[in-house]
Chains A and B, each alone.
Chain A
Amino acid sequence: MSERAEEVRTLAIGVGKGAKQTGGELLRVRNLYLYFRTTRGVVQAVDNVSFTLREGCSAAVLGESGCGKTSLARAILRLLPRNVARYEGEIILDGVDTMKLSEEAFREQIRWRKLSMVSQAAMNALNPVLRVGFQIAEPLLVHDRMPKEKAYARAEEAARLVGLPVDFLQRYPFELSGGMRQRAIIAMALVTNPRLIILDEPTSALDVLTQANIMNALKRIKNELGVSFILITHDVATSSDLADEVLIMYAGQLVEYSHAETGYRHPLHPYAQGLMASVPTLREDRSLEFIPGQPPSLLRPPTGCRFKDRCPKRFAKCEEEPPVFRVGERGELVKCWLYEQTGERYE
């Protein structure tokens, strides 16, 4: 417990405007469901996910492609397509249950105010006919109806934070390189001073050095502003740059939610163990292992534990779907029968 307090105190240094008391809950997700209707049936993209993100903490959401990570982001931000079959649960952000808000109220109060998103291939999402500076300032102009000078000043501040030289604000997106554009997008997500930013594969298309630079910028922002990040990526190694906590998803379900130390070094769930063992390392000399087989289809997920067919530690009870257990003094979550004795059920 003392270790945790230590961490929190470290991050509390340099907390700027917008942060409430440390140690409290920033985002509380309970029983979140998101199913899509497709021509082949109903896809259970997010299946009963529950977790709590504390103030000042950043989390990484890891998993293979198709495990539901992006859908989780969409569910939290309510960026839903038309073919939604089921969307329910509780999402309490800063004390407000966003699921209960109307579309309009959500748009005004939550989206891009308290919560913003940097999505995959975002650098192609910049409007090519508008100047970069204007686009960064746009959320302020639209949401807060801020006067232009003030909005531009804030845009400059955001640009500085992400490492985008201020004179680039006058340019058009095509004049900027990939890395610059990504920074612009991040600045756009920052400019309204949100409490939480969701980043979906923010650096996947960029060079290694640029990637590192942007991660540095994000770390700086995390420390200076006290903004929380949820980083969604399949690149396990890079995620460790930002993550205080780790969410591991498999087949639409949350199978592990633990602190970075546990998640990366001694993961709890067998899938997480397999995942970490398959990450190539540069400096450590170890052999790689892979998990044979493929993740199940989200159309007709198997009964019982969804990982059971590939799990090396499977036993009889796995035919029944395990509940989420809370384990250890740090209150980490695992969805696996192996922890039935040592953990308590988490509701």
Chain B
Amino acid sequence: MNDGVLLSVRELCTWYELKKWGFFHAGYVRALENVSFDLHQGEALTVVGESGSGKTTLLKTILGLVPPTKGEIFFEGKKIAKALDIVALRRSVGYVQQDPYGALPPFMNVRRILLEPMVVNRIGTRLEREARIREVLEEVRLTPVDDFLYKFPHMLSGGQQQRVVIARALVLQPKMIVADEPVSMLDASVRVEILQLMRRIQKLHNLAVIYITHDLSTVRYFSERVFIMYAGKLVEEADVRTIVHHPLHPYTQALLEAIPDPDPANSKRMRNVPPGEPPSLVRPPSGCRFHPRCVHRIEKLCDVEVPPMFSPEPNHRVECWLYKS
């Protein structure tokens, strides 16, 4: 159900400035470098990356929580430049966070928590707000609603708290949801419930969703499209099946190799993964940021020039010199 393009990101760069003694400039953390993509209404997209890959920064930049250093963001065709644009953007984007235990203010009850976004944005009359709260609680299956309205976060389980977070993201009837590791802090069996819930809501309301996670094995249950990020760069983009069965970028391949399925045979064999750590983003490696760990690196090319995005197959993009077309 792909409608028009909802979100468009072009050459987006976000650098954090480092200051010495609070005053002196001491370099930049190049957290996000040259990311470009389109997101359509009703489309679900997963951004996969390890910590430090820039996935969280991407989310924060889209939400306007962090100002971009370079590049442009377009929402519903309009460029997001001024503060007012960001305000309008925020009303249409719901944010689901990772940590259910921290995402809800401990001193507010559920009703108050859900009321806040509407109060802040001056939406709805009192009656309309109360009705919407009930509606949204039903959607996330926190029923009977009256039982939950006056509870405080610490009275709820992890899964229930996450449902409240999702409800809060939905309360303004957004067109898009951005979810940062929505299930990673929940127990294994609860994860599935929440994943299914989110999928159902997304399909029901034709929402565009960006999921951010480090766990590639949950991707298939979230979305159709996958972005792989490494060290602030978008290195590969394809649909889930393609990524899993024939990944092109060496990092993606390593990632797949590294992730086990629960298979007793695993204990008998070693995993073929590259050594080393993700690079520092203050002084990232020259050229392709993965080259120090890449077994396929081409001397004098990968370590010198930044690879552009190639498209060896339709709907499959890779940023790697191996696929120079």
Which residues of A are interface residues toward B (Cβ below 8 A)?
Answer: 58, 64-65, 163, 177, 179-180, 207-213, 215-216, 219-220, 234, 236-244, 259-261, 263-265, 274-276, 278-285, 288-292, 294
What's the minimum C-beta distance from A328 to chain B, rounded to whole angstroms? 16
Our pick among B190, B254, B261, B271 for the contact of A216 (Cβ within 8 Å) is B271
Q: Is the CB of A207 within 8 A of B50?
A: yes
Given A213-B273, A280-B218, A290-B192, also A208-B258 (CB < 8 A): yes
Q: How far is the CA of A282 from the CA of B257 in the complex (A)?
A: 10
Contacts of B262 in A (CB 8 A): 236-237, 239-240, 264, 276, 279, 281
Q: Is the CB of A278 within 8 A of B192?
A: yes
Q: Is the CB of A280 within 8 A of B220?
A: yes
Q: How far is the CA of A276 from the CA of B264 in the complex (A)?
A: 12
Q: Is the CB of B267 within 8 A of A244?
A: yes
Contacts of A239 in B (CB 8 A): 262
Nearest CB to that of B190 among chain A residues? Answer: A290
Q: How far is the CA of A284 from the CA of B260 in the complex (A)?
A: 11
* B contact patch SS: helix
Q: Of residues B187, B190, B220, B274, which shows the largest number of chain A Cβ atoms within 10 Å of its Cβ?
A: B187
Q: Is the CB of A264 within 8 A of B192?
A: no
Quick check: is B137 within 8 A (CB to CB) of the other chain?
A: no
15 contacts between A and B (CB under 8 A): A179-B277, A207-B278, A208-B214, A211-B258, A216-B270, A220-B270, A237-B217, A237-B259, A241-B267, A241-B271, A244-B267, A274-B189, A275-B189, A281-B262, A282-B220
What's the minimum C-beta distance from B129 to chain A, rounded to whole angstroms? 30
Contacts of A282 in B (CB 8 A): 216-217, 220, 244, 256, 259, 261
Contacts of B189 in A (CB 8 A): 64, 274-275, 278, 290-291
Our pick among A58, A64, A219 for the contact of B270 (Cβ within 8 Å) is A219
Q: Is the CB of B188 within 8 A of A279?
A: yes
Contacts of A220 in B (CB 8 A): 270
Q: How far is the CA of A220 from the CA of B257 in the complex (A)?
A: 18
What's the minimum C-beta distance from A29 to chain B, rounded to whole angstroms? 22
Contacts of B28 in A (CB 8 A): none
Quick check: is B221 within 8 A (CB to CB) of the other chain?
A: yes
Q: Using A213-B273, A237-B261, A280-B218 as known contacts, list a sample of 10 further A-B pairs with CB atoms less than 8 Å apart, ordered by residue number in A.
A: A180-B277, A207-B51, A207-B277, A207-B278, A208-B255, A240-B261, A281-B262, A282-B256, A290-B189, A291-B189
Within 8 A of A (CB), among B153-208: 157, 159, 187-193, 195-196
Q: Is the CB of B260 within 8 A of A237?
A: yes
Q: Is the CB of B214 within 8 A of A207?
A: yes
Q: Is the CB of A260 within 8 A of B221?
A: no
Q: How far is the CA of A252 from the CA of B267 in the complex (A)?
A: 27
Contacts of B274 in A (CB 8 A): 209
Query: How many B residues touch A, CB cutoff 8 Å?
Result: 41
**When each residue 237-256 of chain B gets 1 if its CB lies under 8 Å from chain A and 0 otherwise, what string results?**
00000001000000000111
Contacts of A259 in B (CB 8 A): 264
Q: How far is the CA of A275 from the CA of B270 in the complex (A)?
A: 25
Q: Is the CB of A261 within 8 A of B277?
A: no
Q: Is the CB of A212 within 8 A of B273?
A: yes
5 nearest CB pairs, A to B = A260-B264, A212-B258, A290-B192, A207-B50, A282-B217
Our pick among A207, A244, A288, A291 for the contact of B195 (Cβ within 8 Å) is A288
What's the minimum C-beta distance from B247 to chain A, rounded to whole angstroms? 11
Quick check: is B275 within 8 A (CB to CB) of the other chain?
A: yes
Q: How far is the CA of A282 from the CA of B255 in the complex (A)?
A: 11
Q: How far is the CA of A96 from the CA of B136 in the complex (A)?
A: 59
Q: How far is the CA of A264 from the CA of B266 in the complex (A)?
A: 11
Q: Is the CB of A281 within 8 A of B50?
A: no
Quick check: is B263 within 8 A (CB to CB) of the other chain?
A: yes
Q: Of residues A212, A234, A289, which shows the largest number of chain B Cβ atoms within 10 Å of its Cβ?
A: A212
Q: How far is the CA of A290 from the CA of B263 in the complex (A)?
A: 19
What's the minimum C-beta distance from B289 to chain A, rounded to whole angstroms? 14
Q: Is the CB of B244 within 8 A of A240?
A: no
Q: How far is the CA of A14 from the CA of B273 in the complex (A)?
A: 24
Given A209-B50, A209-B273, A280-B220, also A238-B192 (CB < 8 A): no
What's the minimum C-beta distance from A330 to chain B, rounded to whole angstroms? 13
Nearest CB to that of B193 among chain A residues? Answer: A290
Q: Is the CB of A215 within 8 A of B271?
A: yes
Contacts of B261 in A (CB 8 A): 237, 240, 281-284
Q: Is the CB of B264 within 8 A of A264?
A: yes
Q: Of residues B256, B264, B278, which shows the largest number of chain A Cβ atoms within 10 Å of its Cβ?
A: B264
What's the minimum C-beta distance from B133 to chain A, rounded to whole angstroms? 24
Q: How far is the CA of A260 from the CA of B262 in the complex (A)?
A: 10
Q: How far is the CA of A216 from the CA of B278 in the complex (A)?
A: 18
Q: Is the CB of A64 within 8 A of B217?
A: no
Q: How far is the CA of A193 from the CA of B275 in the complex (A)?
A: 26
Nearest CB to that of A7 among chain B residues? Answer: B268
What's the minimum C-beta distance from B232 to chain A, rounded to whole angstroms? 15
Q: How far is the CA of A288 from the CA of B196 in the complex (A)?
A: 9
What's the minimum C-beta distance from A97 to chain B, rounded to whole angstroms? 30
Q: How far is the CA of A288 from the CA of B175 in the complex (A)?
A: 27
Q: How far is the CA of A263 from the CA of B264 in the complex (A)?
A: 8
Q: Of residues B51, B157, B216, B261, which shows the largest number of chain A Cβ atoms within 10 Å of its Cβ?
A: B261
Contacts of B214 in A (CB 8 A): 207-208
Given A237-B259, A290-B189, also A281-B264 (CB < 8 A): no
